[in-house]
Amino acid sequence: MKIMVTGIGGVGGYLASVLCANYHDVTLIARRKRKESLITNGLVTHSDFFGEHTAHPTVTDDPASAGLQDIIFVCVKNYSLEAALTAALPCIGEETIVVPVLNGFTYHDEAARLMKKGKIVDSAIYITSSYEEDYSIRQEGKFARIYIGSDDKDAVQKVYDVLNHPGLTCCKAENIQVEIWRKFILNCAYNVLTAYYMTSIGGALSQPHGKEEFKALLQEAYNVGKAAGVPLPDDVVEDQYQRIVKSDDMDATSSLKRDLAAGHQSELDSFSGALIRLAKQCGVPVPVSEKCYAALKQRT
């Protein structure tokens, strides 16, 4: 089994750590200082769920040098998908399975447009993970869960068998679009509101209208998903709202807030931007999302 992971940030690094603990032929795609660190120090992971791990897989900045792969995990931000997948095209054969591990709902069509061969298994991951200044991976919390799905059941089973090991709970979704939208709805509220107020989720919810705005953002994203034909359950908004407002981790922030605070390129367009565009196509009003998006765009 030849496995490749491109995008060795918090999510990709964690997935790679679990894979390296169970498979010998794992290739990581990294560049510049991250590549140097991985070669010199190995892939170092500090995890509440998986423990302390160090692995020394193959690391290269030239995907083509690794040859054809059985499974490729693409764990980059949406704005880097085209470059990452294009670089990996020489590694994709007819039977290669590509697993995009990205936020949002637009990545599948983009991956399908770029790929001439291979199969796509979609995913939605729930994990709190980031990389440190020394490029080690820091995972927080006692869970790391990924949902996978595709019409190709054999491909889904192969990915499940590769991923379902200690340190990662893998679930085969009955309808992966539902799981993708569950996460997207949460991202459109959690990421956006914490970035809007530039604070933790607890800080955002404690604003004068924070809880109402959080629920409104959830509801707007849900309404767009339903209008677009995604068969979302009726309890999605209330379930996610209660889970967050009753969470013990009110100090948590979001990747969007951290990226904007650091002046980095962000996934704002993959969250509110994509939602607003689809809302217009479906004729669904999303005033709170539009308000937050307009304010955040001024900071980018």
Answer for the pair 33, 65: CB distance below 8 angstroms, yes or no: no
pLDDT at 141: 86
**Could you tell me the CATH number of the domain that includes residue 194?**
1.10.1040.10
**Residue 189: domain span:** 178-297
Q: Which tens digits make up the pLDDT trace of 91-126?
A: 999 999 999 999 999 999 999 999 989 999 999 999
- Rounded CA-CA distance 135/10 in Å is 9
Residues 106 and 218 in one domain: no
The tokens for 197 are 């107020």
Question: Are 137 and 182 in a shared domain?
Answer: no
Q: Are residues 131 and 188 in the same domain?
A: no
How crowded is the C-beta side of 237, counted as CA atoms within 13 Å? Answer: 17
Would you say 193 and 204 are in contact if contact means Cβ atoms under 8 Å apart?
A: yes
Statement to judge: residues 206 and 98 lie in one domain: no
Q: Which of 173, 191, 211 is the last residue of a domain?
A: 173
Burial class (CB in 10 A: 0-12, 13-18, 19+), 167: buried
Which DSSP state fits 300? -
- Give percent above pLDDT 90 in the chain: 93
- Residues 185 and 168 both lie in one domain: no
Q: Are 120 and 8 contained in the same domain?
A: yes
**Shared-domain flag, residues 92 and 193:** no
Q: What is the CATH number of the domain that holds 141?
A: 3.40.50.720
The answer to whether residues 65 and 193 belong to one domain is: no
Binned at pLDDT 50, 70 and 90, residue 163 comes out as very high
My answer on whether 158 and 211 are in the same domain is no
Q: Are 195 and 104 in the same domain?
A: no
Residue-wise pLDDT tens digits, 208-239: 999 999 999 999 999 999 999 999 999 999 99
Compute the distance between CA of residue 72 and CA of residue 77 in angstroms, rounded to an integer.
16
Q: Kindly state the average pLDDT of the residues 141-155.
A: 95
Q: What angle do CA 137, 201, 291 make, to 5 degrees?
A: 115
Global pTM reads: 0.94
Asked whether the predicted pLDDT for residue 300 surpasses 80, the reply is: no
Q: What does the DSSP assignment read for 115-172?
A: -SSSEE-EEEEEEEEEE-TTS-EEEEEEEEEEEEE-S-HHHHHHHHHHH-STT-EEEE
Number of domains present in the structure of the chain: 2
Which single residue is written with the structure tokens 């949460």?
Answer: 186
Confidence band for 248, pLDDT divided at 50, 70 and 90: confident
Please report the sign of the dihedral spanned by the C-alpha atoms of residue 60, residue 65, residue 71, residue 75: positive
* One domain for residues 108 and 149: yes
Q: Are residues 128 and 263 in the same domain?
A: no
